Structure 1
Amino acid sequence: MTIKTIGKVLAVALILCGAFPVAAQTAKAPEAIDRVWAGHSARFALTATKTHLYVAYYDANRQLTVAQRPTNNPAHWVYHKVDTWLGWDSHNYIAMAVDRAGAVHVAGNMHVDPLTYFRSDASGDVRTLKRVPVMVDAAREARMTYPVFLHDAEGRLVYKYRDGSSGRGNEIYNVYDEAAGSWAALTAAPLVDGEGQRNAYFVGPVLGPDGWFHIAWVWRDSPMAETNHDLSYARSRDLVRWEKADGSLLPLPIRFSDTEIVDPVPVKGGLINNNTVLGFDAQGRATITYHKYDAAGNTQIWLARREGKVWNRKQISAWSNYRWDFGGGGSLNSEIFVDGARPGEAGRLIVPVVRLAQALEFVVDAQSLRPIEERKVQSVSERAAVRLGIADAKRVSTVQAKGPDGHVYTLAWSTLPPNRDLPQARIPEPSDLVLLHDIAQGFR
């Protein structure tokens, strides 16, 4: 037996006996991209096409930067900086997409601000990104927040945003025409009108396995987080004609008086925006994960599903002596994050939740929504922290994207948490922005 063969046999034996983990033999090294702003969290963007990866982020000097590389060449990153800089507002996240012609679209750094949007030419080269001052209506685009790119059932690029401020905003949808190189309003009226008294905070639209786009939202009466109320729902085939779960048409704009209420949670009832997340069971039925206070005042996780003519609502957590008593304005350092339910084994549903930085999975009976088990798991941020050698997983932010070939990419960086959108007392050192290849798609 040669020395080389003996070495191979010894290595296999050491793996089998647990001397060192198999993952350590196969894991790809983290791929460093840049040094980035770490003074507070503001979500970055990651997009994968058949040929390229695109990353949009705030660099160490807070400047919005877009980078690209071929999917088959990790050594060839190309960078381009655009003319906008981040302040201290965690609302100012980045949205990015690639249209059917290959052009890159980037929007971000907006919280009740004028449109900040850049578009490349059809080559998709980030160095051709140029600022586009108006999409459709300059007057309507003067107080923009929450940019989101998505694709409709035909594959057309759609952009949605809030026009106005918290408690006084409307939801607007635009659609892009690649041939003309221009945007137009997707609907004649806003999706939702708060009538100057409230605004809707949406999660979605999410395209379900049933072929419908589903949205869930809460109404909020002011910039104060405790004024969220009334979990609501609608669905659409084309993002233009919207209806309730029973098929009855919802006239646009949807107003509070027309809304289908899933759960009439009152103001100060423990319901918060951005934590009303859609999922689907094995039959393709939409579910909504959210939280509110129970009769004893404890925060609890709930799951809702439309069954026949009613919404079946079930409390799936049983926490005692715990209440996330949030309130006030600005970006919160959230204690709870929820995700949509997904089918599990043996007729069960899995509902991911993070509470106080601990990742959990609730296992519920798929038929009755009866809770079965609460178990601790490892979140994407925790797995990324291990790969990066960072002790405090709460400091790690992640964004994931799946390429057309099914490969999952994870973008990770270390940052301080939100600070109510106020300046920190000190500016921390920038952190490394890295790309990881060996972390399964998951939650947080």
Structure 2
Amino acid sequence: MMTTSDLNSIYLDQAEGLTKSTSYLKPAKEEALSFFKKLGLPHKKLDSWKYSRIEKRIPSTLVLNKTAEVNKLAGDLIYPDADLIVLVNGNFSSELSKISSSLSYQYEKESNKAYDDLQIDPSDAFDNLSLLLTEGTHTITLKDNEVLTKPIQVIHLNEGNSESTITSRFHFEAGKFSKATMIEMHLGNGNNTDYGYSTFSLSDGANIEHIKIGMNNSDSTHVGKVSAKLKKDSTFHSFTLCLGGGLVRNHVKTNLVESGAHAEVNGLYALQGEHRSDNYTEIHHNASHTTSGQLFKGILADSSRGIFTGRVFIHRDAQKVDANQLNKNLLLSKEARIDTRPQLEVYADDVKCAHGATIGQLNEEELFYLQARGIPKQEAYEMLMAAFSEDALMKVTNPTTKKWLADFLDDHFEKTRKK
């Protein structure tokens, strides 16, 4: 097995060529390369990657996987009547996509956006690596006061059995007092490594809900990040649903930069087999009179492992802040494991904060009660898991989307039970 040092050498050599081979975002890519050189790949001594050995999962080369033929999508994956954007191995599929003329969507392959405009984090190695690998940015723009009555659904289909890399970047620009729901799905069926990054810029009074769903097999690796910048009186609702993968790293970062901004950063991970989900969240209160809430719940069966690191920062001079954070976990076997670290860092005086974590098992009395009424054991398990998930799903604000997501999860639990 290659060491992190070996991979660093290979990646740096190949990354140098990525800045020379294209004029797209050349200045930003050069800046990303300089940061990647300083950072190198994450290692186990880095606190934010303490529990995940990424060097065991990523390929030994930066070869992009572009080859795949998909002619049809499973009907249960598609949200009814949504604007549908489909990427196959990171490439836009006009055959599978269905976009109304009213949606302002474009794929920018020629752009002069600066490094800062792309919300790249200079302390995040994979954020910079993803920018180096990308060949274009998918951009969705909402005008001031524009309200979308149907969701936008983005499906990332990652196929193929070669050891290779897939990358995509989405940017969502929300004008003043605009409103929309975006559902993003990452589906991994091969042994690829998928880097999926989405950024959101919310103007005054904007209200955006982003739902990210990950369904990956045990051979696939996903490293993804959702970043949002919130201006005055804007609201960002993030919900992350992870239903498996060899290693799935979901990083959600929100910056509340002006008063009245509110962020909800919620999620659910339901794992089985030897799947691993690493959830890392950051909520930065950079302005007074900002609020945030967070509820992440985990259901872990077999030998699966969940990781939750939730960091809430209340920066200096950010007074009158209200922030709440909770992580709750349900272990279904003795071999399942959870590492949970809810964290608050407070540098202001006049704030209201709470955080906590719980780890438990299924209530045997409830299980016995259901079985005594003729419900098979596995079906009873499924019912109790659905009940445990319910308050997390209730955080989704769009009623129609909430119902679709609950049905989607119930269907997943049923399919899992029948395997």
Length-normalised TM-score, structure 1: 0.29
| Structure with greater contact order relative to length (CA < 8 Å, sep ≥ 6) | 1
Structure with max Cα Rg: 1
Length-normalised TM-score, structure 2: 0.30
